[in-house]
Amino acid sequence: MKSSAQANVLRAVTLLAATALPLSAPRAASEYETRVVDLAAQVERGHVERALAAARAFVQEYPGSRLGRLIYADLLVARTGRLPAVGGGALQGGRELEDLRHELKARWDHIADEAGRLDTYLPDTLLQVSPQSEYVVFADLSRSRLFVYFNDRGNLRRVRDFYVTQGFNGSGKQVEGDQRTPVGVYYVTGFIDGATLPSRYGPGALPISYPNAMDLRRQRTGYGIWIHGTEPFLINRAPLASDGCLSLNNDDFLLLNRTLVQPRHTPVIIDAAANWVPRDALGEKRSSLLLAIETWRRHWASGDPDRYLSHYDRERFSDGELDYRQWSARKRAILDSKQTITVQIDDIELFGYPGEEDVVLADFLQRFESDSFDAVMRKQQYWKLGEDGTWRIIFEGSSQKSPPRVVAEEETAAAEDATDS
């Protein structure tokens, strides 16, 4: 039976977690994460002396690990039988102590779930990935986790996942400076080398396309949201510790960047609390959307303005400048001027939009030909499922994969020590 001191340590390092953990390392966890959670698991099993030796070796190998130092301090105090409270061996208190507990719980819960549903389930937002998107990055902020999926001919295989830090005030960015991480569907716009950045960004940054069309539609402000590393003297930040960016351990950031190889245009989906479903549960929604897009394409190619415009939501549609009435009048005039129209759609990408009820982002390559005009472009649309069970378009415009207008501004701002906001 555990002593009362050991029981206090158990509360400190397992955070009252109910799931027993295997001591074997899970496939996708980092060595650091595996060892720190294994250390907690040894204490949970009452192996305090063995855990103390392991903790001593751990803090020697990872001197920047505040979490390792917390466990080690608690174990040292527990040997005397005088651990007064949870985290009683820690030198710091208040928010920093709570942050470390939050971090350990996030890591513990992830590894406890590793052998469960993570490979047989997917977030319900990942409906279909373009063949041109080799990888997809998915952040589940409720888990403090960043997942990397390889697109194996439409079958998404999880190849990496990392502990990740979000904004001080959590998720759901609304205004510049609110220290919240945005929720939505974005794309990587480039890479900024850490040599050109302040040290708090670590070895580099991957800017993402915030604000996108949905953010502008919701009148959200701010800029400079990146995936980046952290200060060189830290293993990582607390779960809530950035100004709105996604921050990784520096080794993890380098591994992420190497994995993506060519990160530009990689989809980045950020969800406040992902809904994980069996992989085969996505088929019906995917099929209904593909049918809606194909019907829209045929009706457009038919030249019939009424059938074509029936796919647009009269109450909600905007192209960012014009409302439905203005936009539909312009489209009718264009269609009336055409004798022949051919429309081809390829390379379709479909993502459920986090934080928006029954909204899906469709991104695709469009080839348009008519008797007076030809064009090839990437387009994006937001489709919303109506109460009548019909998908209709609420936004249409250029793809986020089109050349971004703010990359040069982001790089200039970074060099001038701009913060993420």
Structure tokens of 212?
A: 């996108």
The reported pLDDT for the residue numbered 48 is 76
Which is nearest to 62 in space by CA: 98, 86, 35?
35
What's the pLDDT tens digit per position in 318-344? 999 999 999 999 999 999 998 899 999
CB atoms within 10 A of CB 1: 5
Is pLDDT above 90 for 72? no
- Taking alpha carbons only, the member of 342, 297, 327 closest to residue 397 is 327
Mean pLDDT of 406-416: 36
User: Can you tell me the mean pLDDT for 340-362?
Assistant: 96
Tell me: the pLDDT tens digits for 278-314? 999 999 999 999 999 999 999 999 999 999 999 999 9
pLDDT, one tens digit per residue, over 107-155 is 888 887 765 577 789 999 999 999 999 999 999 999 999 999 999 999 9
What the block records as the tokens of 124 is 């319900």
Give me the amino acid identity at 33: E
Distance, in Å, from the CA atom of 178 to the CA atom of 242, rounded to the nearest integer, reads 11
Q: Which of 121, 129, 133, 134 is nearest to 362 (CA)?
A: 129
* Per-residue pLDDT at 316 exceeds 50: yes
Average pLDDT over all residues of the chain: 85
Q: What is the pLDDT of residue 331?
A: 94
Domains of the chain: 4-114 (no CATH), 121-278+404-415 (2.40.440.10), 281-398 (3.10.450.50)
Instruction: Using CB atoms within 10 Å of the CB of residue 56, give its burial: 0 to 12 exposed, 13 to 18 middle, 19+ buried.
Output: middle
Lowest mean pLDDT among 3-7, 69-73, 104-108: 3-7
Between the alpha carbon of residue 369 and those of residues 64, 65, 102, 345, 364, the distances in Å are: 60, 59, 56, 12, 16
The predicted pLDDT at position 419 comes to 36
Residue 116 has a pLDDT of 59
- State how far the Cα of 42 lies from the Cα of 6, in Å rounded to an integer: 11
Separation CA 350–CA 362 (nearest Å): 5
pLDDT at 35 over 60: yes
Q: Specify the DSSP class assigned to residue 62.
A: -
pTM of the full structure: 0.86
Q: Max Cα separation, the chain?
A: 89
Average pLDDT over residues 379-402: 95
Cα angle, residue 321 at apex, residues 316 and 322 outer, rounded to 5°: 55
Confidence class for position 45, pLDDT limits 50, 70, 90: confident
Dihedral (C-alpha) 93, 99, 100, 102: value to the nearest 10 degrees? Answer: 130
Mean pLDDT over 44-64 rounds to 85
> Which residue did the predictor score with more confidence, 420 or 73?
73
Instruction: Specify the higher pLDDT residue, 148 or 411.
Output: 148
Please check the confidence at residue 368 and state whether its pLDDT lies above 80: yes
What's residue 81's pLDDT?
58
**What confidence score (pLDDT) does residue 105 get?**
87
pLDDT of residue 268: 98
Percentage of residues in the chain with pLDDT exceeding 90? Answer: 63
pLDDT bucket at 51, cuts 50 / 70 / 90:
confident
Would you state the pLDDT for residue 303?
94
Summarised one tens digit per residue, pLDDT across range 248-287 is 999 999 999 999 989 999 999 999 999 999 999 999 999 9
Phi, psi of 175 (to 5 degrees): -135, 155
Judged by average pLDDT, the poorest of 167-181, 270-284, 362-376, 407-421 is: 407-421
Q: Which residues of 232-262 are buried (b: 16+ CB within 10 A; e: fewer)?
A: eebbbbbbbbbbbbbbbbbbbbbbbbebbee
pLDDT > 70 fraction of the chain, expressed in percent and rounded: 83
